[in-house]
């Protein structure tokens, strides 16, 4: 199976499951940027329940700006904020310390373009999961595709109805199982077992 997906910021579990289960991954590089999607946000399980971590982006005067041209707004100290939130959420998880140093590097480096950040996040997560995925890149945008399974909707959490199999989460005694968070939630709780979990999910 060949799948077409968007590169996103620490993708959702369903998003990563689609890539792990595919024979070939194609990244959509030619679409227009859409606000309020996982292109620049992720959801984690905080001590108070679900928490949104959002990357501020520069507003463009262009009506339909290409996703690959979107720049990160440097005025906000979002990286420090995001990493502090991850620490508060996952410091007591079984595998946070194991991956902490590698993950921290993303929050210490300065990025100009959102796409560059998301590309590095993807490579980092593959390294943490112990897998190798070499995606192709689109060179033209097509509203509909026929040569692969179109999973671009997974970048929009509101359109993603995937129900993930429950696994142990840090604060599940307080708030119960929270479905389809960032794959970081799975990684910090399940470690390298996360890859087996992703292979078994129904999409």
Q: How far is residue 32 CA from its own chain's centroid?
A: 18
Does the global pTM surpass 0.85?
yes
> Minimal CA–CA distance to 17: which of 96, 106, 131?
131
- For 78-103, write each residue's pLDDT tens digit: 999 999 999 999 999 999 999 999 99
Question: How many independent structural domains does the chain possess?
Answer: 1
**Pair type for strands 49-54 and 41-46:** antiparallel
Tens of pLDDT, residue by residue over 98-156, are 999 999 999 999 999 999 999 999 999 999 999 999 999 999 999 999 999 999 999 99
DSSP secondary structure string for all residues of 66-112:
BGGG-BB-TTS-HHHHHHHHHHHHHTTSTTHHHHHHHHHGGGTS--S
**SS3 of residue 146 by DSSP:** coil
The residue segments making up the domain with residue 78 are: 2-200
* Alpha helix ranges (H) inside the chain: 13-21, 78-90, 96-104, 114-129, 172-175, 183-190, 194-200
Please, what is the Cα angle at 201 between 127 and 47, to 5 degrees? Answer: 70
């Amino acid at each position: 199976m060949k799948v077409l997906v968007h590169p996103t910021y620490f993708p959702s579990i369903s998003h990563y499951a689609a890539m792990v289960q595919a024979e070939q991954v194609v990244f959509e590089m030619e679409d227009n940027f859409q606000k309020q999607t996982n292109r620049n946000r992720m959801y984690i399980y905080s001590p108070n329940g679900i928490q949104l971590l959002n990357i501020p982006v520069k507003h463009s005067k262009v009506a339909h700006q290409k996703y690959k041209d979107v720049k990160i707004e440097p005025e906000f100290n979002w990286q420090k904020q995001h990493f502090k939130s991850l620490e508060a959420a996952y410091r007591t998880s079984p595998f946070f310390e194991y991956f902490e140093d590698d993950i921290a590097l993303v929050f210490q480096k300065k990025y100009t373009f959102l796409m560059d950040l998301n590309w590095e996040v993807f490579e980092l997560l593959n390294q943490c999961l112990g897998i190798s995925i070499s995606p192709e890149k689109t060179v033209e945008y097509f509203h509909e595709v026929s040569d692969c399974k179109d999973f671009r909707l997974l970048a929009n959490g509101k359109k993603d109805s995937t129900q993930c199999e429950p696994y142990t989460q840090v604060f599940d005694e307080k708030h119960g199982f929270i479905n389809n968070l960032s794959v970081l939630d799975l990684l910090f709780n399940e470690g390298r077992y996360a890859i087996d979990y992703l292979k078994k999910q129904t999409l």
